[in-house]
Amino acid sequence: MYIGRVQVAGPEKLTETRVIANHEIAPGIFMLSFPREFDFIPGQSVWLTVDAAVPPRLYSIASGSGDPRVEILYDLVPEGLLTPRLAGLRQGQTLMVSSAFGPFRDEEGPSCWVAAGTGAAPFASMVRSGLSREKTLIHGSRTIAGLLNRRLFADALGERYTACCSREAAAGVFHGRPTEWLTLQRLPLASRYLLCGGSRMVVDCRDIIIAKGVPFENVIGEIYF
- Check whether residue 57 and residue 122 sit in a common domain: no
- Check whether residue 176 and residue 132 sit in a common domain: yes
- Check whether residue 85 and residue 148 sit in a common domain: no
Q: What is the pLDDT of residues 70-114, one digit of tens each?
A: 999 999 999 999 999 999 999 999 999 999 999 999 999 999 999
DSSP-H helix ranges across the chain: 83-87, 121-128, 150-157, 178-184, 199-211
Which one of 46, 71, 97 terminates a domain? 97
Total count of domains within the chain: 2
Grade residue 62 by pLDDT with cuts at 50, 70 and 90: very high
Residue 105 domain-assigned (yes or no) = no
Residue 102 domain-assigned (yes or no) = no
Residue 151 pLDDT more than 50?
yes
- Measured CA to CA in angstroms, residue 68 lies from 33, 64, 162, 184, 194 at distances of 10, 9, 29, 41, 26
Q: What pTM was estimated for this model as a whole? A: 0.93
pLDDT, residue 190, reads 82
Residue 103 domain-assigned (yes or no) = no
Grade residue 7 by pLDDT with cuts at 50, 70 and 90: very low
- Across the beta sheet with 135-141, what order do the strands follow? 2-4, 219-224, 192-198, 111-116, 135-141, 161-165, 174-175
User: Are residues 159 and 203 in contact, defined by beta-carbon separation less than 8 angstroms?
Assistant: no
Which one of 97, 132, 157 terminates a domain? 97
- Check whether residue 84 and residue 126 sit in a common domain: no
pLDDT, residue 6, reads 36
Alpha carbon distance 225, 213 (integer Å)? 28
CATH number (domain holding residue 19): 2.40.30.10
Domain hosting residue 181, numbered range: 111-224
